[in-house]
Structure 1
Amino acid sequence: MMDKPEIRPSEGYMTEERLMMQEMARDFAMKEVLPAANRLDPEKGDIPQDLIDRMGELGFFGILIPERFGGLGLGMFEYCLVAEELSRAWMSVGSIIARGNMFYKSIPARTDEEKLEKIKLMAQGKYLGAFSMSEPNAGSDMASIGCRAVRDEDEWVVTGSKYWCTFADRADFMQVICRTSADPDAPRWAGLTAILFEKPRGEFPQGVSGHSIPKIGYHGWKTYELAFDEARTPAYDYGTTGGAFKAVVSGLEGARAHTAARSIGLARGALEDAIAHAKQREQFDRPISDFQAIRFKIASMATEVEAARQLMYFVCHQIDNGHNCAKEAAMVKFYAAEMAERVTSEALQILGGAGYTTLHAVERHWRDARLTKIFEGSSEIQQRIIADTLLGKPTRD
């Protein structure tokens, strides 16, 4: 009889190709991303351009881009696999890969040939986008967007304010969600369009000004408040005028899986650092890893990380196989984000006073984990989605 093959965790998901990709991403994250994060995050420095270029060489910006466009032609599973590894070192690096993978379907181009060339550059990390949807008075309620775009022959003219636009300075183009219809009889979510602005790196488009928002975390790149003062841009039209709401919503399952992957990476980084510290730190003539209180903390932390990871794998598998999983995507985003804050906080507790300094990465993981409960739909929004799926919409008077 043949010997039974070795059983690996998640064997049904983890093919040899995926294991190789995971190992490659992990090696890059620990050898190249982590040292940069430890050096730059305490001073709120930006992700170095040479690190972005290296990620482009490795194909990280083109994981989801079809092979015919120069990408790897892989799925959400591989995308999130890489995002977890990068986020274990620095969440901002785990996030920046979305600036290629999630943008290739809508870029500023006049012809199919121009679009193809730009997508090929995007897959190499040489043509990246920024997304601007939120406003001072519009966040979870996308239907409240008030930034206006008016058509003037073959151009859009945009006026209004935007908030929380990350990478607006270093991107090659911006997707800006604007209101293009004010029909009082239409639903509130109708009449929204993604307006595309191409621009030089390091600058804003003409007619756009902005300033960096002071953040407590998510360093490595800047996040902006933007003001559009009759800013003009060509009317690149791919048949999406007025349909931005549905387009954004259709991409939320993948975005939420990506946030779960980032959350898991953060939590795993904190867990690994806590384990290493517990083995090295001695009190009362023994390593603190001998104490049951610490051992049980680590056992609970590891269990939560793995539970979130397995749910993420399932959601990615469903997305890649074309199955609707809005409820499960909300669940994994909700659970992983909440888990990440708990685990990183417990890790900081294990490090004690050392954890409350910028000398150790755990405080970075802790600060960044707090954001995962807010962006890509807050925890409360995810709970609402889950509850509405299970119970139906709330009754109204």
Structure 2
Amino acid sequence: MTELSDERRMIQESAREFTRTQVRPLADKLDPVKGEMPRELIDQMAELGYFGILIPEEYGGLGLGAFEYCLVAEELARGWMSVASMIARGNALIGSLKAMTPEQKKVYLPRMARGEFLGAFSLSEPDAGSDVANISCRAKRVGDEWEITGNKYWCTFADGADFIMVFARTDPSVDPKARHRGISAFMVEKPRGQLPEGVSGTIIPKIGYFGWTTWELAFDKCRVPAANLIGEEGRGFYLATAGLETARAHTAARSIGLAQAGLDDAVAHAKERRQFGNPIAAFQAIRFKIASMATEIEAARALMYSVCEKIDQGVRCDKEASMVKLFASEMSERVTSEALQIHGGGGYTTLNQVERHWRDARLTKIFEGTSEIQMRIISDHILGRD
């Protein structure tokens, strides 16, 4: 496995300590009651530079790479996956960086790096999930503005964000053979704590991923300045997919962090819990479970490091990014399930945090492309497309 440099190890240890002292205690308190992560925690993350990890130094960011981004995400996920996901709300535009105008970069990126301009991502719709090109939400040019109308789904942090990146169809003529064309991206700025004017929403009830809310949004002639078009009109699909390699590595990192948290809790419990006169850690059945869990985590971590190195070197690795997202997310659900099993009946209660790791791990197999989509991408690379 890649040996961490002194700088990377310091970044990792700092994130681990922040998680141990700040993130995990809050998660243990708030997740059982579906509480929202406090703004104070987000401000602390901003002070540590976590929202500008991928933003170039010239715009006030740290100017680091996917490797450091994933190191931090893994450690944060050991405390609460929602917090590990929050850092994407500041680094979110990095995939769109090349498409932004110099003026947009100067205006948005420094504020984002400081944690003052955090975003939500609104791509999915009721009928456009894995089939992203099926977007039906429309944007119509009206003078110096765009008018957005339609429904969006799975928009997390829509209320707490300072802007929502919305993808809408600007070309109503849809060629069945090229449905990905004619989609554009818009930055919809809004007051923090509210939805944009012309937008109503309903909170989606979830079984996990607490700490913030996920929304179904209805856009009704929501007006956006023409200057807030990101990239070229009609090429939003390419913007949405530009950062997928990093996003999938980030999901792998979150998956690994959850699995590591599950393993940590299982080891501690196995040493403390006594049955038949001995700690259950003395029983071979438990020892072999822990050995297998640790091995799977290490394998996923090594693959993630390899993918991050490729991303940072500018080497195309969409196949490998899909592989690590697939392997790590599937592994995370298995490992956290085993961790819950080691806790016995107590693991199925909210008195132990292992059930949170398990619930959140289940989500990693769905977002940023389901496991089935990843297998389609990988097999297409190996066998060619149908």
Instruction: Give the structure-1-normalised TM-score.
Output: 0.94
Instruction: Within 5 Å, give how 1:144-155 maps onto structure 2.
Output: 144-155=134-145
Q: Is the 8 A contact 1:104 1:119 kept in 2?
A: no
Q: Is the 8 A contact 2:52 2:90 kept in 1?
A: yes
Is 1:360 aligned to 2:356, yes or no?
no
**Aligned counterpart for 1:258 among listed residues 220, 236, 250:** 250
Deviation at 1:113, TM superposition (A): 5.6
State the secondary structure of the residue aligned to 1:55: helix
Instruction: Within 5 Å, give how 1:68-107 maps onto structure 2.
Output: 68-103=58-93
State the secondary structure of the residue aligned to 1:210: strand
Q: Distance in 2 between matches of 1:178 and 1:114?
A: 20
Q: Distance in 1 between matches of 2:315 and 2:207?
A: 37
Deviation at 1:126, TM superposition (A): 1.4
Deviation at 1:114, TM superposition (A): 6.7
Q: Is the 8 A contact 1:100 1:128 kept in 2?
A: yes
Name the counterpart of 2:193: 202
Deviation at 1:183, TM superposition (A): 2.5
1:172-210 deviations in whole A, cap 9, x for unaligned?
A: 001111011122447111001112210000111111000
**Aligned counterpart for 1:380 among listed residues 365, 372, 376:** 372
Deviation at 1:112, TM superposition (A): 4.8
**Aligned counterpart for 1:342 among listed residues 327, 330, 334:** 334
Say if 1:296 and 1:111 are closer, same or farther in 2 by CA, change over 3 A.
closer
State the secondary structure of the residue aligned to 1:343: helix
Name the counterpart of 2:147: 157
Q: Distance in 2 between matches of 1:330 and 1:155?
A: 38
**Aligned counterpart for 1:216 among listed residues 199, 207, 212:** 207
Q: Is the 8 A contact 1:348 1:362 kept in 2?
A: yes
**Aligned counterpart for 1:326 among listed residues 318, 326, 339:** 318
Percent identity over the alignment is 64
Q: Is the 8 A contact 2:94 2:243 kept in 1?
A: no
Gaps of 5+ in 1: 1-8
Deviation at 1:241, TM superposition (A): 1.1
Name the counterpart of 1:298: 290
Q: Distance in 2 between matches of 1:263 and 1:310?
A: 13
Name the counterpart of 1:119: 109
Deviates more, 1:241-250 or 1:197-206: 241-250
Name the counterpart of 2:18: 28
Q: Distance in 1 between matches of 2:122 and 2:325?
A: 21
Gaps of 5+ in 2: none
Instruction: Within 5 Å, give how 1:222-237 maps onto structure 2.
Output: 222-235=213-226, 236-237=228-229
Name the counterpart of 2:180: 189
State the secondary structure of the residue aligned to 1:102: helix
Letter in 2 for 1:389: H
Q: Distance in 1 between matches of 2:80 and 2:5?
A: 26
Instruction: Give the structure-2-normalised TM-score.
Output: 0.96
Q: Distance in 2 between matches of 1:111 and 1:391?
A: 39
